[in-house]
A and B are shown apart, each in its own frame.
Chain A
Amino acid sequence: MVPWDRLAIYLAVGIMTGMETNRTRQFKVAVISGGFVIILTLILMMLGESGLRDWERFQENYLAILGEKVSVDDKIRIRQIENHDLRFVDRCPTCHVGLHDNQMTDQSLPLTAHPGEAFSTHDPEQYGCSTCHGGRGRALDIPHAHDQAIDNPFLRSNQTQAYCGKCHLTIFPAEFSLPGAGRLAEGRTVFLRNGCQGCHRVRGVGGMHGPELTDLGTRTLHSFDFRRVSGDRSINNWHREHLRNPQDISTESIMPAFHFPETITSALTLFLRGQFSPQFPLQYITLPMIREFKHERSVISPDEIFSRLCSGCHGQRGLPDSIQTVPFSVPTLANPDFQAVASLDYIAFTITEGRGGRYMHAWTSEVSGLYETEIRALLSSVRDMRSAAFDISRIKHQAGSVEEGARIFQGNCAMCHEANEGTRLAPNILSDGFLSLATNAYILANVVEGRANTAMPAWRTFREEQLIHLLAYLRSKQTNSMRPLPVTPMNGNISRGDSLFYYSCSRCHGEKGTGGIGPAIMNGAFLRMTDPGLVAATITSGRAHSAMFGLTSRGIKDISGRENDILDIITFMYSRRDSIPDYIPAGMVLGDPDRGKSLFYRRCAECHGQQGEGGKGPALNNQEFLSAASNGYLLATISLGRLGTRMPSWGRGSADYPALTPQERQDVVALIRQWQTIRIKRDKRWIK
């Protein structure tokens, strides 16, 4: 103990000795006052540590309530829970003495017993307090333990469920139902339904445009940028303002503004703060956790994939009216006009190769974290956004109205199938040569299925009676009766057929039969749909008033010698029916790019940019796009337009956007094709 008496004597002696000279007086005064301050400070400091601290008072209150005397074991002391595996030292029970004590349930904080059932499943001696509540477990005063715990954000009772995410998996399990974590589940639903993972990767799955969110829950207050936040400086508020308008908070962000109501925002914030990739030792890890951390999760359904990854930009189920306002142009996938012209090749290519330099990722497994089966399912699901084709066999031979059919034909088919200023984009289907060979079923199949990668769209918007009218109109142009199709055995010589095709057919039909002046006759869809007899008959008799001169029209009477040729050609063609070329076939370019350029500047550049770089409309000079889109796709899109978007139908024309003639459309396509500098090989595994 401090020898106060001796100290006093020395002081007195010293003072008296020194008093003899006033040289020292000023110094002694200084010593006395300084000494006072020191003594005062030290006393205050010691007092502060003896029974006056908050936790000491709480413990005394507790003991007083219990009516117990302070025994040796119960003396006022620091109580802590340590767990070195989970790396915490929690001194919370020092103030919250009544935590385990059932007698304290009716007390108020801090002495009250812990509410709820949490202790039954999470023994505090093992899990401590800061695991679920955050805060600074080592601290012994109120502010540092709670709100000022800077490296472990503290959560109050209605928010602690966020930290369930430290151990309980929240992203991939199909079902999520933890007792007491209702708002967390709510937030999870919001997260998974709005395409957040499309830009923000979590646990190995997702896009890369935004920051990865796997460890969002570990971020402390200090790691958030509050410079542009107007409300209070808390993590919850940062998330709230950020969700409301991301560009306000983070100027370079491309994230759309989701206009969620407040309850949704707070649930979502809770969920986001519950994202952790925890590091704890083996005995705390469950088997499902191991699987998820090793990215062996259960398969996600394509609907689920679409809503998690795609809907953020492409809208819920690809519908135009629900697309978020992203600052770049995004195709509406469920748009009927898009689905009509896009082949599976195009869709598969776009999804798996992306659009380089734009915001559309290449969603391969390595990049997105999805499994191959999931990607395949996604491709089919996007393809299935096209309205179902009804069963054409239901169409009986009813009499349709020729006038109606004419109107339908004029409004939809004529823009390609009719010659305009000498150019025709599609075969003349009003010719006898075609109609006498084509059955109704064949015609309807072509209409409803379209022809993949050519300019023939899949018309799913017609109703049954409209097709009947159309048929009636077409048949009204037929002059001769139906001819039976010759039986065509497939036993020709394929290699001979190959060279015959090359010499005889490819000039019009394209080098690999991918289309040119004549239709794409090596197109897989065509071959699958068309009876070889029709092809044989067409080769034999040709098509009147077209460039397809058959054998007979050249005046060859005796075709017996040529029958083998035809057989060879057809056998060759059909042998390639199911082959998948390395590149999506573009087809021949039949237009003049220079004329196309001036047309483009005048008509297209306003939305698509002077060099096709995009703007209000998509970028047309993108290499991935040009490798995905055949000339037919381009022609079809230009001709048909996209109802519901700003893309007009240049085939039909309107008051503001007068129609382009077929040749003009060919010219524009020629220009667009000129922008292609590389050909990107596609990955065939997605097509098989």
Chain B
Amino acid sequence: MNRREFLNRMTFGTLISGGALLTAAALKIPVPQTGFAARRYNLGDINKYPLNHFTFLPEKNIYLFRDRKRIKAVSAICTHLGCVLRRSDAGFRCPCHGSKFNDRGAVISGPATRDLDWYRVQQEPDGRIFVIEDQTVAPEDFLEI
């Protein structure tokens, strides 16, 4: 090719690649970087949670169950469309479309089809106890205390 063609091609190529990069960079702008709720929650003094009882933690939408030996944490978000569950006689129920779950988080009825997530409860070396929402565990898993 001659100089003109080469120059044209270079210009064109620069424009295209520059434009592509700009577009890629611009596309990243709306992607949210913050605004995600913290995925670890410090339970504080576990004695303040009543025994043999599902205590609701409204900031995290988690139900915490504690008895003499165990602490377990289950998500309070309905697996159907994300409404916050309430306690009922047999477990949990969702006010939005009537999904029902038992105390193990398994779906009993309703449009929800997935069981509730149980989150890992972990004790740090310094003794503090956290609920880790990033890790889900089986319903039988618990933290021994």
The answer on a CB contact under 8 Å between B50 and A361 is: yes
Please state if A356 and B68 are interface contacts (CB–CB under 8 Å): yes
Is B11 part of the contact surface with A, judged by Cβ < 8 Å? no
Q: List the B side residues contacting A365 at CB < 8 Å.
A: 47
Q: How far is the CB of A621 from chain B (nearest CB, A)?
A: 14
**Contact with B48, one of A353, A357, A361, A366 (Cβ below 8 angstroms):** A366
C-alpha gap A367/B50 in the complex (Å): 6
Min Cβ gap A626→B in Å is: 13
CB atoms of B48 and A208 under 8 A apart: no
Give chain B residues whose Cβ lies under 8 Å from the Cβ of A353.
51
The answer to whether the Cβ of B89 comes within 8 Å of any Cβ in the partner chain is yes
Mask, A337-366, CB within 8 Å of B = 1, is 000000000000000011011000110111
- Whether A678 contacts B53 by the Cβ 8 Å rule is no
Q: Is A680 an interface residue (CB 8 A)?
A: yes
Complex CA gap A362/B47 in Å reads 10
Q: How many Å lie between the Cα of A366 and that of B48 in the bound state?
A: 4
Q: Which of A208, A252, A623, A678 sits near B50, CB closer than 8 Å?
A: A208
Q: Known interface pairs A208-B55, A252-B88. Does A356 touch B48 (Cβ–Cβ under 8 Å)? A: no
Interface range on chain B (Cβ under 8 Å from partner) = 10 to 19
Given contacts A208-B55, A356-B51, A356-B52, contact A678 B68 (CB under 8 A): yes
Mark contacts of B62-77 with chain A using CB atoms, 8 A cut-off: 1 yes-contact digit, 0 otherwise.
0000011000000000
Report if A366-B45 is in contact (Cβ < 8 Å); known contacts: A208-B50, A252-B88: yes
- Cβ-closest chain A residue relative to B47: A366
- Measured in the bound complex, the distance between the Cα atoms of B106 and A49 in whole Å is 59
The A interface, classified by DSSP as helix, strand, loop or mixed, is loop
Count A-B pairs with CB separation below 8 Å: 28
Q: How far is the CA of A569 from the CA of B8 in the complex (A)?
A: 111
User: Which residues of chain A are near B52, meaning CB under 8 Å?
Assistant: 356-357
Nearest chain B CB to A618 CB, angstrom units: 16
Cross-chain contact A364 with B47 (CB below 8 angstroms): yes
**B67 with A356: CB separation less than 8 A:** yes
Please, which residues of chain B bring their CB within 8 A of the CB of A623? 68
Mark contacts of A477-498 with chain B using CB atoms, 8 A cut-off: 1 yes-contact digit, 0 otherwise. Answer: 0000000000000000000000
A681 closest partner in B (C-beta): B68
Residue of A nearest to B87 (CB): A252
Among the listed B45, B51, B89, which residue makes an inter-chain contact with A252, where contact means beta carbons less than 8 Å apart?
B89
Contact with A along B23-61 (1 / 0, CB 8 A): 000000000000000000000010111111101000000
Most chain-A CB neighbours within 10 Å: which of B48, B67, B89? B48
A362-B51 in contact given A356-B67, A678-B68 (Cβ < 8 Å)? yes
Shortest beta-carbon distance, B138 to chain A, in Å? 23
Q: Is the CB of A367 within 8 A of B68?
A: no
Q: Mark out the residues of chain B between 112 and 139 whose CB falls within 8 Å of any chain A CB in the assembled complex.
A: none
**Which residue from chain B places its CB closest to the CB of A358 in the assembled complex?**
B52
| A residues near B51, Cβ cutoff 8 Å | 353-354, 356, 362
Which of B47, B53, B67, B89 has a CB less than 8 Å from the CB of A208? B53
A252 proximity list for chain B (CB < 8 A): 88-89
Chain A residues, Cβ within 8 Å of B50: 208, 354, 361-362, 367
A364 to B88, CA, bound (A): 26
Q: Counting chain A CB atoms within 10 Å of each CB, which of B45, B68, B88, B89 scores highest?
A: B68
**Complex formed: what's the CA distance from A480 to B51 in Å?**
57
B143 to nearest A CB, angstroms? 18
Chain A nearest CB, measured from B90 CB (Å): 11
Which chain A residues lie closer than 8 Å to B48 at the CB level?
366-367
Nearest residue (CB) in A for B89 is A252
Assembly CA distance A396 to B50 (angstroms): 52
CB-defined contacts of A366 to chain B, threshold 8 Å: 45, 47-48
Q: Which of B47, B49, B50 has the most CB of A within 10 A?
A: B50
Q: In the docked arrangement, what's the CA distance between A252 and B90, Å?
A: 11
How distant is the Cα of A365 from the Cα of B48 in the complex, in angstroms?
8
Tell me which residues across on chain B come within 8 A of A367, comparing CB atoms: 47-50
- Chain A positions within 8 Å of B88 at CB level: 252
Report the bound CA distance from A571 to B47 in whole Å. 40
Q: Mark A364-381, 1 if CB is under 8 A from B, else 0.
A: 111100000000000000
Find A680's partner among B45, B49, B53, B68 (CB 8 Å cutoff).
B68
**A364 to B51 Cα, complex, angstroms:** 11
Q: Chain B residues near A356: list those with CB within 8 A.
A: 51-52, 67-68
With a cutoff of 8 Å between Cβ atoms, the chain A residues found around residue B47 in the complex are 364-367
Residues in A neighbouring B68, C-beta threshold 8 A: 356, 623, 678, 680
B94 to chain A, nearest CB (A): 15
- Of residues 574 through 625 on chain A, the ones whose CB sits less than 8 Å from some CB of chain B are 623
In whole angstroms, how far apart are the Cα atoms of A208 and B47 in the complex?
A: 14
Interface readout for A667-688 with B: 1 if CB under 8 Å, 0 if not? 0000000000010100000000
Q: Kindly provide the distance from the CB of B63 to the nearest chain A CB, expressed in whole angstroms.
A: 13
Q: Which residue of chain A lies nearest to B88 when distances are taken between CB atoms in the complex?
A: A252
Once bound together, how far apart are the Cα atoms of A169 and B139, in whole Å? 43
Shortest Cβ distance from residue A55 to the other chain B in the assembled complex, whole angstroms: 41
- The distance in angstroms between the C-alpha atoms of A365 and B45, with both chains bound, is 11
Near B by CB (< 8 A), chain A positions 253-299 give: none
A140: min CB distance to chain B, Å: 36
Nearest-Cβ distance from residue B36 to partner chain A, whole angstroms: 26
Chain A residues whose CB sits within 8 angstroms of the CB of B55 once the complex forms: 208
A678 to B, closest residue via Cβ: B68
Kindly state the separation between the CA atoms of A354 and B50 in the bound complex, as whole angstroms. Answer: 9
CB distance from A356 to the nearest CB of B (A): 4
Residues of B within 8 A of A357 (CB): 52
- Name the residue on A nearest B48 (C-beta): A366
CB distance from A436 to the nearest CB of B (A): 49
Sorted nearest first, the 6 A-B pairs with minimum C-beta distance are: A366-B48, A356-B52, A366-B47, A357-B52, A367-B50, A356-B51
Known contacts A354-B50, A367-B47, then 9 further A-B pairs from the complex at CB < 8 Å, ordered by chain A residue? A208-B55, A252-B88, A252-B89, A354-B51, A356-B51, A362-B50, A364-B47, A366-B48, A623-B68
Interface residues of chain A, those whose CB is within 8 Å of chain B, are: 208, 252, 353-354, 356-357, 361-362, 364-367, 623, 678, 680
25 pairs, A vs B, C-beta closer than 8 Å: A208-B50, A208-B53, A208-B55, A252-B88, A252-B89, A353-B51, A354-B51, A356-B51, A356-B52, A356-B67, A356-B68, A357-B52, A361-B50, A362-B50, A362-B51, A364-B47, A365-B47, A366-B45, A366-B47, A366-B48, A367-B47, A367-B48, A367-B50, A623-B68, A678-B68
